[in-house]
Structure 1
Amino acid sequence: MTQYNAALILDLKRRIEEDFTSSNWEEIGLLTDSSHIVTGHSRLLRSLSFGDQDYAGNIISVLRAMSDHNPGSLNVVKKYLDQWYPDQNVTYISAKPSERKISFAPNVFSIPDGDVEDDLVTVMMPFAGFDGVYTAIKNACSAAGFRCLRADDIWDNSSIIQDIFSLIYRAKIVVVDFSGKNPNVMYETGIAHTLGKTVVPLAQIVQDIPSDMVHHRALIYLKNGEGLAKLEDDLLKKLRMIS
């Protein structure tokens, strides 16, 4: 193996470890004709799912095997990462927000008093059966220096949709959990995007993310002890990067 390939594998490993889901692995397996290497590895996808400490080593092992099988595969992986997960350690010039501005007066909601609260994270998610998930989100927010509120944490208006709109309007960041394809969460995500909020998507499986949103980076988690601990850690990293 050349020194260039060795350095490239280490760089790809760092970026993959930060962002990849099992679906990403399946996609690059197809793109590099290495699906058998990805799915045939005894530890790769399992260590990813459970957040095991040997995941980084498994990434290196699989990348080396892919390079041996197809010498051009590392460049394919790099191109894939550049497209879907631009390196946060490199300075990129992002597209400017649209210079065209619109003003609108919604007739379903009332515009709340006050401005955006820079320390507020609002969470849009299913309620039933998600207490553990919400606790992990709140812990991450607290560790990052944010307050965290969900619609059932307040009762400021007679209409719950007005409370939801108010929370989204006031928040700097909106965390949305698409698990179970909850239609309310999808509706609330549309509001958040329209108001120009920074939206952080979560889901237990990639297939729950609406097709119009799959190009956005999402945090995929398992709803067990280890999975929620990893979600808390991943979300903390994301919030610190945003702030």
Structure 2
Amino acid sequence: MYVDPQTRRALLPIADKIVSSFTEADWIKLATLTDSYDLVRNHSRLLRSLDFKDDDYSGHVLSVLNTIVGRDPANFDEITRYLNALEGGGTSLSSVETPGARFYIQPTVFKIPDEGQDQNLVSVMMPFSPQFGRVYDAIKSAARTAGLNCMRADDIWQDSVLIQDIFSLIVRSRIVVCDFSEKNPNVFYEAGIAHTLGKHVVPITQNGGDVPADLRHHRYLQYLNNGEGLLALEKQLASRLASI
């Protein structure tokens, strides 16, 4: 009953969520879904540790999960589906899974795209005026240096409504670079969407005063829109993207 190392690592946050939220009834339901009733019901410590809130409960949870997945790798998806349904359903759109409450969105203005998140995609939110063309070129070069792909909303045309293409691009991105230069209200709006969806947002600007007060506690990269300044931006941004 071999479980590959990557799957074992993926089970760690799942085990933490189960420890914090599962009841005995949840274990029985999950056991039924994964054809593991005998394992869960007959385990010498799992349900007893849950009932008595023993310190060894988390270890038994992880051990049982590994055994369930080891019996049938497809059980990993069954476990994930059950846990997601227990937390409210839906699919996480965030770049980072963090402990705590999870919220599921049902937008009325946007359609959630069918595609999942692309771990290698960087999207860029910036003014579309011509003087930002070289800035976008520098950002694309920085992304390539970090081994990532880079797109802006005008690189695609999948929907008749531009903001839908922008929303879909943010959803599919792991990292969102936002250029706050010139206090562009569209970029502010798009940064809010990215933050709400839990994306890694990297702010850049030509003028620190253009960064909204609510966002100045986030570290931003300041640059000059000339040859030397854009080379410096490219180097700094590539390092930032690589660290993410």
| TM-score (normalised: structure 2) | 0.59
Q: Which of 196, 199, 202 does residue 198 from structure 2 map onto?
A: 196
Picking from 214, 227, 232, the partner of 1:230 is 232
Partner SS state of residue 188, structure 1: helix
Correspondence for 2:60: none
Could you tell me which residue of structure 2 aligns to residue 119 of structure 1?
120
1:176 matched to 2:163: no
Partners of 1:132 and 1:146 lie apart in 2 by 19
The one-character-per-residue Cα deviations of 1:146-197 (angstroms, maximum 9, x if unpaired) are 1100000000111000000000000000000000000000000000000000
Q: TM-score of the superposition, structure 1-length normalised?
A: 0.60
Q: 1: CA distance between counterparts of 2:112 and 2:196?
A: 14
Looking at structure 2, the residues matched to 188 and 99 of structure 1 have their Cα atoms a distance apart, in angstroms, of: 25
Matches within 5 A, 1:56-75: none
Deviation, 1:98, is: 4.9
Look up the SS of the partner of 1:156 in the other structure.
Answer: coil
Q: 1:141 and 1:102 mapped to 2: Cα distance?
A: 30
Q: What's 1:11 paired with?
A: none
SS at match of 1:121: strand
Identity %: 56
Q: Distance in 2 between matches of 1:118 and 1:97?
A: 17
1:113-133 per-position Cα deviation (integer Å, ceiling 9, x unaligned)? 021000100000001110000
Q: Distance in 2 between matches of 1:178 and 1:98?
A: 30
For each residue in 1:93-117, what CA deviation from the matched residue of structure 2 results, as whole angstroms up to 9, or x when unmatched?
xxx9351111120000000002100
Alignment: residue pair count: 147
2-structure distance, mates of 1:176, 1:144: 17
Q: Which residue of 1 aligns with 2:219?
A: 217
C-alpha distance in 1, partners of 2:227/2:115? 38
**Large movers: runs of 4+ above 3 Å:** none
Letter of the aligned partner of 2:180 in structure 1?
F
Mapped to 2, the partners of 1:208 and 1:116 lie a distance apart of 30
Structure having the higher Rg: 2
Aligned to 2:101: 100
Matched residue type, 2:113: P
- The residue that corresponds to 1:147 in the other structure is 149
Q: Residues 73-95 of structure 1, C-alpha deviation per residue, up to 9 Å, x if partnerless?
A: xxxxxxxxxxxxxxxxxxxxxxx
When the two chains are superposed, the root-mean-square deviation of aligned CA atoms in Å is 1.0
The runs of 5 or more residues in structure 2 that have no matched partner are 1-96
Secondary structure of 1:130 counterpart: helix
The SS at the match of 1:175 is: strand
Counterparts of residues 84-99 of structure 1 (less than 5 Å): 97-99=98-100
For residue 128 of structure 2, what is the amino acid of its counterpart?
A: F
Amino acid at match of 2:242: R
Provide the rounded CA distance (Å) in 1 between the counterparts of 2:99 and 2:178: 24
Structure-1 residue corresponding to 2:158: 156
